[in-house]
Amino acid sequence: MKPSTAALRARIADIDARITLLANQIAGLEAEKTRVKQDLYQVTYPVLSLPDDIIGEIFAHLVDTDAESPFPTPGSRIPRDLRDPRSPYYALTLAAVCARWRAISLSTSKLWRRIQVECRSSDAMKIRSEEPGPIRPIALLELWLSRSGIVPVDICIIARQGSSEELFHKALLAISPFAQRWHRVDLCVEGGPFELPYEFPTNLDELRYLSLQGSIQWTQSTTIVSPQVHALSIVHCPFPSGLFSGFNLTTLKILEIDWLFTSDILRFLERAPALQSLYIEVADPVNEPPEVAPAIPAIFPSLQTLVCKYDFSLNLMRFATFPGLRSLAIWDLDLTRPLVDCVRTFMTSSKCRITHLHLRNLGPQVSSGILISTLVLFSHVTHLIIEHKADPWPRGTLVGLASNAFNDEDFLPALECLALGGPSREATLEGLVDFVRFRAEKIREGYDITELREVFVQFATQLGVQGETAELAKLGVQLRVGELKKTGMLWSAAADG
């Protein structure tokens, strides 16, 4: 039966009443929303209370966060602060937050002082995946340099495998008008070879750091003049002899170079009396022009850190002495007895007090006996890293350390921190515990031996080390597993003075 008209009118009246009630609720909520908005507008964020110049300094600090000395280790070809693809583009993020931050960002030249671009085969790149279209490297360079004002700039240009030489040239020509503001320049070519354009600037008065990596070809007439260069890295690049004749190498403090002959490196060192850190890979001496070896090794007193990669680099030790040397790294060697003989001759002639020693990737021919015989030569070492990555450890290495600690009170007497890393054939760390125990016994007997404080281990093979950790703790030594990268031991020697 259909409802009566009276029932329908009653239902309509009920609906109207409910609508009125909901309308009143909505009105109340709208009023409350208005009050909350007013309260929100009255809130003052701490950062918004700061003056614009202080906010600008905070923004600029982001660019320098995590920056470190150029060329910290061979193999890390692009400095860390430029390897992170996000770090050069903080400025764009900050400028997109609000109108005030955009104005501050655009007026803070230091925020735009560091830029990295990659030249790819697609001739384009994106800064953030959510951006609708690609930003080409040339436009990006021009944007950054135009906003950097008059401050010195750090520029990194990477030509990825497959990118065109034309695009690389355009990137270099885009930065050339700003050459008088170049503070640091990193050029890396993964493919190539690419030639430098003839328009590439050669007078670089403000340049402090220069890194050239990969297949970069130079014209014979190219001569770079830079009177204040502090750090120079030439890696996997042909090296014309006259290229840096205009460099004032008396200001050079850091040098990374590969595939030069020993005689060329010695000539370089003679022109760089203030050099503090040297990373070298010496070319095969078989192809080196015959020269008369100096009767007395040349003396370079300022050098504090030396990294020798591959066998031939040890030849430098035969013709040069470094009395101020504190950090020594010997990497990727396959030598056996010549390693010991060469290091012994070097230590005797240099009379240096090496405190930080890093032995890495010694080849399979380097037995534990050869390794221990090498360590015996370093009586002043306080920080020691022994690292094998490609090959297993020589069997008996830890036992050899313990045996020498038991029999010889002059074996690494100054050692404070020890780091061990790589694939290991040691079943346990008992040899390490014995090494620490024998040292502790020598100290109680009155021998002049420094107490070992920390041990870092990082092996590819997972070892149960709970027992060894407890034993070392009883001896006052903290065992840290899987933290080899956190040691930072070798490169702190200069900081330690």
Mean pLDDT is lowest, of 105-119, 201-215, 425-439, 477-491, for 477-491
* Entry pTM: 0.76
Average pLDDT over residues 419-444: 81
Tokens of 93: 């993020």
CA-CA distance, 94 to 102, in Å (whole number)? Answer: 7
The closest alpha carbon to 469, from 482, 483, 455, 458, belongs to 455
Mean pLDDT is lowest, of 237-246, 278-287, 306-315, 413-422, for 237-246
Which pLDDT score is estimated for 127? 40
The yes or no reply on domain 326-497 and CATH 3.80.10 is: yes
Which pLDDT score is estimated for 182? 93
The dihedral through the CA atoms of 361, 378, 281, 247 has a sign that is positive
- The answer to whether 136 touches 125, Cβ cutoff 8 Å, is yes
- The answer to whether 284 touches 309, Cβ cutoff 8 Å, is no
- The answer to whether 383 touches 353, Cβ cutoff 8 Å, is no
| Number of Cβ within a 10 Å radius of residue 289 | 7
The closest alpha carbon to 412, from 444, 455, 367, 372, belongs to 372
Read off the pLDDT of residues 18-68 as tens digits, 9 standing for 90 and up.
999 999 999 999 999 999 988 888 877 777 788 999 998 888 887 765 444
Which pLDDT score is estimated for 200? 80
How far CA 185 is from CA of 173, 225, 466, in Å, comes to 14, 14, 48
- Most confidently modeled range among 314-328, 432-446, 448-462: 432-446
Return mean pLDDT, the chain: 78
CA-CA distance, 376 to 436, in Å (whole number)? Answer: 16
CA-CA distance, 452 to 383, in Å (whole number)? Answer: 10
Which pLDDT score is estimated for 338? 64
Which pLDDT score is estimated for 334? 65
Is residue 493 pLDDT above 60, yes or no?
Answer: no
Which pLDDT score is estimated for 293? 55
pLDDT confidence tier of residue 77, bands split at 50, 70 and 90: very low
How far CA 49 is from CA of 39, 44, 200, 429, 470, in Å, comes to 17, 7, 46, 57, 52
> What does the domain layout of the chain look like in residue ranges?
43-252, 326-497
What does the buried/exposed string (b/e) look like for 376-387 if buried means 16 or more CB atoms within 10 Å of the residue's CB?
eebebbbbbbbb
pLDDT confidence tier of residue 382, bands split at 50, 70 and 90: very high
Tokens of 66: 């995590």
The β-bridge relationship of strands 327-331 and 305-309 is parallel
Residue bearing the bigger pLDDT, 483 or 197: 197
Residues 6+ apart with CB under 8 A from 427: none
Is residue 245 pLDDT above 70, yes or no?
Answer: no
Which pLDDT score is estimated for 250? 83
Average pLDDT over residues 399-426: 83
Distance between terminal CA atoms of the chain? 103
Tokens of 477: 């030594």
Mean pLDDT is lowest, of 64-78, 152-166, 232-246, for 64-78
Read off the pLDDT of residues 94-134 as tens digits, 9 standing for 90 and up.
888 888 899 999 999 988 988 888 887 654 444 433 443 34
Tokens of 91: 């400025």
The β-bridge relationship of strands 417-422 and 454-459 is parallel
3-state secondary structure the chain: CCCCHHHHHHHHHHHHHHHHHHHHHHHHHHHHHHHHHHHHHHCCCHHHHCCHHHHHHHHHHHHHCCCCCCCCCCCCCCCHHHHCCCHHHHHHHHHCCCHHHHHHHHHCHHHHCEEEEEECCCCCECCCCCCCCCECHHHHHHHHHHHCCCCCEEEEEEECCCCCHHHHHHHHHHHHHHHHHEEEEEEEEEEEEEECCCCCCCECCCCCEEEEEEEEECCCCCCCECCCCCEEEEECCCCCCCCCCCCCHHHCCEEEEEEECHHHHHHHHHCCCCCCEEEEEECCHHHCCCCCCCCCCEECCCCCEEEEECHHHHHHHHHEECCCCCEEEEECCCCCHHHHHHHHHHHHHHCCCCCEEEEECCCCCCCHHHHHHHHCCCCCCCEEEEECCCCCCCCCHHHHHHHHHHHCCCCCCCCCEEEEEECCCCCCCHHHHHHHHHHHHHHHCCCCCCCCCEEEEEECCCCCCHHHHHHHHHCCCEEEECCHHHCCCHHHHHHHC
Residues 6+ apart with CB under 8 A from 114: 63, 81, 82, 87, 88, 153, 154, 155
Q: Output the CA angle 333-337-340, nearest 5 degrees.
A: 80
